Amino acid sequence: MVLRPEEVSVVDLIRFLWNQNLKRLAFLEYPTGKEENVRRTWIIFISLLGQKILQSTTKPMSFFGSVFEMWLNLVSSNRNIAVLLLNFFRGKVVKPTRSSATFMSAFGFLDKRVNLDHNIKPGDSRYHGALAMMASKISYENKAFVESTVKDCWKMELLEYKDYWNDFQRKHTTQAFMLHDKSTDPDMIVVAFRGTEIFDADAWCTDIDISWYELPGIGKIHGGFMKALGLVMYQGWPLEVVDHEQHSNGGDRPLAYYSIRQKLREMLKVKNNRTRFILTGHSLGGALAVLFPAILALHEETWLLERLEGVFTFGQPRVGDEEFRVFMKRQLDKYGFRYLRFVYCNDVIPRSPTDDSTFLFKHFGTCLYYNSCYKGKIVEEEPHKNYVSLLATIPRMINALWELIRSFIIRYRKGPEYAEGWLLILVRLVGVALPGLSAHNPQDYVNLTRLGSPEIYTQLKENRDSGEIQIEHVN
C-alpha cells in the first residue's frame, strides 16, 4: 500500500474519507487482492492530510529554520548577545558562513560536544556505542563540519558524505556519511544516517507516511522509511539500478542503499579481510540503519552481511510487522551481527508507530533502556511501549521536571563537558508539558553512552558468548 500525497487534493481526501468503494485512486496504490490494506480509511486520511500540510509548509519551515540557525550561529560567532551588539556598533560583527566547519544546526546547539569521550578508549566495551552515537549526532551537520570533526577531532578518515535521492518525493531528502576508524582491531567503517531535522518538512513527511511496503517472505515495512532508503518507483528493490543513469554510481540522483552498498563493496575489497562495518543513526536515521541489512539480505549480499559488526540505533521508531521481526531475527542468528537499540527514558519516538491491532508495528533486537539517571538495563521492550497510558502522564511530567532541574546541576556532578545551554534548557521546560518529545534530543543519548554503567555491556558479552538472551520484562 503506497500513498502518493503529491497526487491528492483536499477535495479528494474528503471524498475518500466518505467513500466506501475502494476503487483505484491516483494517490493510493495497492495490489489486487490486498484491499484489506486500505480498510482503515481514517489512518490513511490522517497520514495523507498531514503530508499535504507539511508539503505546503516546506518553504516557510525551511526559511524559518534557516533564519533561526543563522541567528544562533551569529550570536555564537560573536560569543554572546552583548558582544554581538557591541560589535554591531563598532562595525566588527563576525558573520557566520553556512557552509563552514563552524556553522552548526539547531540540533548541534542542543549539544555542542564534538570530541569523543577520552575515558572510553578503543577496545572498551562501550567504545562502539559511544562512537556510533557521536557519529549519529554530527550527521545533522553540514559536510565541512563533519569533515573537520572526523579528521581533526577524531583523527579518522571521512570516506563519503552525500545527500541521497528520494524517488517518490523527487528530491534529495536522505543524508548519510561514512568514516574509517583505524584505531580499533579490527578497523571499522561507520555508516551514519541522519535523522529528522527539526525544520525539514520532507523528513517529517517520511516519518508520518504510514504506507506499507510488503516484501514476500520478509514482511511489511514502513513505506516512508523504504522510500527514504532508496526504494525505486515502479520497480521496488531491483538488485541493481544501472538502467537508471541518474541513479548509478556517480550520478546526480544517488539512492542511499545502492550508493552506500557500492561504496562498502569498494572499501571492503581494498581493505584487509578483517575490516568490518557498523550502521548507526538517531531517530529516522536509526530506522534507515536497521533496514539497510534487511535489503542486503533480500539481495543475498552474504559477504557484506558477514562483514557487518553491528547496528546501533538511538531513539529509533518501529519499522515493520511481526513477519519482518521474525525475518530479521533469522538474519541476526545467521550472520551473527549485533543489533543494539538504545532507548532513553520517556522518548516517544521508539514507541511509535504503535504496536497494536491498528498499526501492527513490532520492535526486535536487543533493547538497552536507560532511565533519567542514565542507569541502563536489558529489556524485552521499553516500559509503556505504546506511550498510551493516562496513569503514566503525571509520573512522566514529574520526571521531566527532574530533567529540567538536572540541567542546572549535572555540570557540577559529572563535569563541565555535561553543561547544558539555554536552548536545551528551554526544550526541557517545554518537555514538562510534552515529556515524550523533549526526551528524544541527542544530548541524553550521548550521555547514556558515556555515563551508563559498563556492566550492561559485560552482561551483553556473557549472553552473546553463552548464546542466551537474558532480558528483564517490564510493564
Q: What amino acid positions are annotated as catalytic residues?
A: 283, 347, 440
* Beta strand extents in 108-186 (DSSP E only): 157-166, 171-181
What phi and psi values does residue 188 have, to the nearest 5 degrees? -135, 135
**Distances, alpha carbon 240 to alpha carbons 167, 191, 236, 249, in Å:** 15, 20, 11, 11
Which residues on adjacent β-strands are paired with residue 161? 177
- Asked, as a colleague might, if the bond just before 395 is cis with ω within 30 of 0, I would say no
Cell of 181: 576508524
**3-class DSSP state for residue 181?**
strand
**Distances, alpha carbon 381 to alpha carbons 222, 318, 320, 387, in Å:** 20, 12, 15, 12
Dist. CA 137–CA 153, nearest whole Å: 14
Dist. CA 211–CA 195, nearest whole Å: 19
**Distances, alpha carbon 107 to alpha carbons 173, 177, 316, in Å:** 17, 17, 17
DSSP state of 320: B
Q: How many residues are recorded in the chain?
A: 475
Task: List the one residue out of 223, 226, 196 whose CA is nearest residue 210.
Answer: 223
DSSP state of 95: P
What phi and psi values does residue 406 have, to the nearest 5 degrees? -60, -30
Write the CB contacts of 333 (distance below 8 Å, at least 6 apart in sequence): none
Write the CB contacts of 86 (distance below 8 Å, at least 6 apart in sequence): none
Q: At what angle do helices 201-208 and 284-298 cross, to 10 degrees?
A: 60
Q: Quote the longest CA-to-CA distance of the chain.
A: 72
Q: Quick one: 318 exposed, middle or buried, by C-beta within 10 A (0-12, 13-18, 19+)?
A: buried
In what helix (H) or strand (E) does residue 395 lie, and over which residues does it extend? helix 393-414
